[in-house]
Amino acid sequence: MKVYHAMEWESLIEGGVKVSARQQRKALEKAGVPYSTTRDGDADVLHLNFPGPVSLANLLAAKARGRKVVVHCHSIGENIEGTYRFSRALAPAIEWYFTRVYASADRVVAVNEFMADRLAAHGVTENVTVVSNGIDGEALDGWESRTYADAPDDSSDPVVVNLAQVYEIKGVSDFVAVGERLPGTDFFWFGPQHDYLMPRGTKRTLASAPATVRFPGFVDDKRDAFGFGDVFFFPTHRDNQPLSILEAAYCGKAIVTRDIPAFDGWLEHGVNCLKGDSVDEFVRHVETLRDDPDLREELGENAQAMAAAHTLDVVGEELRTVYEDVLDE
């Protein structure tokens, strides 16, 4: 068995989809599954991670040769709304296109049950398998001894952090609003910003943020962020299975996030995180964790236990099973 593992526009795309695809490859190596990242006519399975136009052409060519096609579903297309300029206008067309690519595959890999439900709501009900995003523990090990090199000298302890691209849909406004309500606490949102594509409202939010709420951009080594931060606050409005939350859990961080359907079943309020639906609730949760180190430790330990089911060893074996199943069909 050999897999052509493709990630379209890999050199251009940023964010969780790209990281997930690269970590899938590490998972395949751990599971002993041979793969290629370039077009390979001898591959038995084509595994696509981003359903762009080149991926569609590869899908059709693979089908014509009788090869099996697996498509990873990171998004149904809905999550693009609220990211870049014009994203609201483009979202319906992208959603329509993504759905048809998924329907053409021999197997769709959904990153969690929520995404499988969204696929079903769009008519993709057969040949769907749930395989979680994988946590690269080797890349995170040693986070305890790391810290953010450009931390201010007067930075308070504990510190609130987030890792995500700077989109309104990820909760930027609420992140800033909570920081405004807690002026004695430092907030750091690590992640790239694309000013030329950023909506005006998001730019105004960043410009009005208090001095204690910082957006320093991309951090070269995410261990620096996890070693620096004490509370991981990700108030995303719409998501599926953010890798940064899984990584924060692996590092034993106390997590505060929004109560959305995508997090049901693996993030449990009061067990391995605290969930909220408003700025008032987020303020209370962050205050509680800031002032209660025992609760931070308890939630962090439970988050680590949850993360154990999402390691690359587990994901590699599950992907191997997916490939074997489609080849047996």
Q: Each residue of 283-322: pLDDT tens digit?
A: 999 999 999 999 999 999 999 999 999 999 999 999 999 9
Angular region, 264: left φ>0, alpha ψ -120 to 50, beta rest: beta
Q: What is the pLDDT of residue 75?
A: 86
Which tops the pLDDT comparison, 92 or 305?
305
> Quick check: 236 pLDDT over 80?
yes
The mean pLDDT of 54-71, rounded to a whole number, is 94
Indicate whether 267 and 219 sit together in one domain. yes
> Quick check: 12 pLDDT over 80?
no
Q: How far is CA 256 from CA 112, 216, 240, 274, in A?
A: 20, 21, 16, 5
Structure tokens at 180: 């405004």
> Quick check: 176 pLDDT over 80?
yes
Indicate whether 108 and 224 sit together in one domain. no
Q: How far is CA 254 from CA 11, 246, 250, 295, 302, in A?
A: 33, 12, 11, 8, 9
Core vs surface per residue 92-121: b (16+ CB within 10 A) or e: eebbeebbebbbbbbbbbbbbebbbebbee
Indicate whether 245 and 144 sit together in one domain. yes
Report residue 72: phi and psi, to 5°.
-85, 125
Token pair 């290629």: residue: 36
Indicate whether 123 and 154 sit together in one domain. no
Q: What is the pLDDT of residue 82?
A: 58
pLDDT tens for each residue of 218-235: 999 999 999 999 999 999
> Quick check: 156 pLDDT over 70?
no
Total domains in the chain come to 2
How many residues in total does the chain contain? 329
User: Please, are residues 27 and 109 in contact by the beta-carbon 8 Å criterion?
Assistant: no
CA angle 226, 228, 234 (to 5 degrees): 55
Q: What is the pLDDT of residue 87?
A: 63
> Quick check: 144 pLDDT over 90?
yes
Which tops the pLDDT comparison, 178 or 11?
178
Which tops the pLDDT comparison, 41 or 267?
267
> Quick check: 84 pLDDT over 70?
no
C-alpha 222/C-alpha 218 separation (Å) is: 9
Indicate whether 301 and 264 sit together in one domain. yes
Indicate whether 148 and 287 sit together in one domain. yes
Indicate whether 191 and 42 sit together in one domain. no
C-alpha 7/C-alpha 197 separation (Å) is: 23
Q: What is the pLDDT of residue 136?
A: 96
Q: Strand 45-48 relative to strand 107-110: parallel, antiparallel, unpaired?
A: unpaired
Which residue range(s) make up the domain with 75?
A: 3-134+311-328
Q: Could you tell me the CATH number of the domain that includes residue 46?
A: 3.40.50.2000
Q: How confident is the model at residue 76 (pLDDT cuts 50, 70, 90)?
A: confident
Q: Tell me the average pLDDT of the chain.
A: 92
Indicate whether 102 and 183 sit together in one domain. no
Indicate whether 303 and 322 sit together in one domain. no
Which tops the pLDDT comparison, 92 or 110?
110
Indicate whether 47 and 105 sit together in one domain. yes
Q: Which amino acid is at 77?
A: G
Q: Strand 45-48 relative to strand 68-73: parallel, antiparallel, unpaired?
A: parallel
Indicate whether 156 and 302 sit together in one domain. yes
Indicate whether 186 and 57 sit together in one domain. no
